[in-house]
Chains A and B, each alone.
Chain A
Amino acid sequence: MVAVTSYIIVSAALLGIGIYGLTVKKNAIRILFAIEIIVNAANLNFAAFTRYMNPPQVSGQVIVFYSIAAAAMEAAVGLALILVAFRINSTIDVRKLSKLKG
């Protein structure tokens, strides 16, 4: 079987990709992509660690269950916010959404 280290490395790679997208991208929808990738990296870690426990447990799977539900809500609210921002500013460039700066 595969060692748990391999899962951590895949998860770290996904986290790195997500952080890169979060810091560099300008399109609000793409930043949402990056957030989803980071959440997936965390979920993968939970599922891997709970399987490699001795004895194997399902608590980690329950946490992933909560996390998937929370991510779905976050996506719904985030996309609604992006739509509102688009309607008000007619752009989704995060550099130009600076009305709250005052």
Chain B
Amino acid sequence: MALISIPPDITFIVLAVVTIIGSIIALQAKELIYGAVALAVSFIGIAGFFVFLDAPYLAMLQIAIYVGAIVVLILFTIMLVRREVMDELTDTPEHGEGTAGLWLAGLLAVAIAGVAALAGPDLPTQPKPADLRVSDLGPVLAIQYPIPLIILALLMSAALLGALVLAKLER
């Protein structure tokens, strides 16, 4: 972490603001394309958190898969769906749905944050200094948890084939 000479608190706050504002804009932006770009910014913020948590491999994966693959896939889908359809689809909530959603989401978030704050004194405030390397991940992946990795590979080929078949589906 010697790479970053800025105080960690400030880095954390900046990352938190970027991530949260990014995800709010992703859901609230009028144009879906801008929303997708804001989503990419939010994902990059999460990647920053991963770097901050001594997980550079996860940060790399996050940027490569989320920003590089998922956001690009979403952008392609937005371009494939016709413009008029998007324009007539207003995302503004009606009949008090917005209030209900805000209450639900707010209560849930406040409940979780409240429990975390109440348990705060018992939770660790200072991470133990660790020398975690990317090479530590290999043995855990391949020796400790090999079965999930194999299932993941099968699931991935099934999902890819499924997506291909779905996309080619005739009317």
Measured CB to CB, the residues of A under 8 A from B are: 1-21, 23-27, 29-30, 32-34, 36-37, 40, 43-44, 47-48, 51-52, 54-56, 58-59, 61-62, 64-66, 68-77, 79-84, 86-88, 90-93
Given A37-B23, A58-B132, A92-B89, also A79-B124 (CB < 8 A) = no
Chain B interfacial residues counted at CB < 8 A: 90
| Interface of B (DSSP majority class) | helix
In the assembled complex, the Cα of A72 lies from the Cα of B160 at a distance in Å of 10
Give which listed residue, A47, A82, A87, A88, contacts B49 with CB less than 8 A.
A47
B124–A52 contact, CB under 8 A? yes
In the assembled complex, the Cα of A84 lies from the Cα of B81 at a distance in Å of 10
B85–A4 contact, CB under 8 A? no
In the assembled complex, the Cα of A17 lies from the Cα of B46 at a distance in Å of 15
Measured CB to CB, the residues of B under 8 A from A are: 8-9, 12, 16, 19-20, 23-24, 26-27, 32, 35-36, 39, 42-43, 46, 49-50, 52-55, 57-58, 61-62, 65-66, 69-70, 73-74, 76-78, 80-82, 85-86, 89-91, 93, 97-98, 100-102, 104-106, 108-110, 112-113, 116-117, 119-120, 123-128, 130, 132, 136-137, 140-141, 144-145, 148-149, 152, 155-156, 159-160, 162-164, 166-167, 169, 171
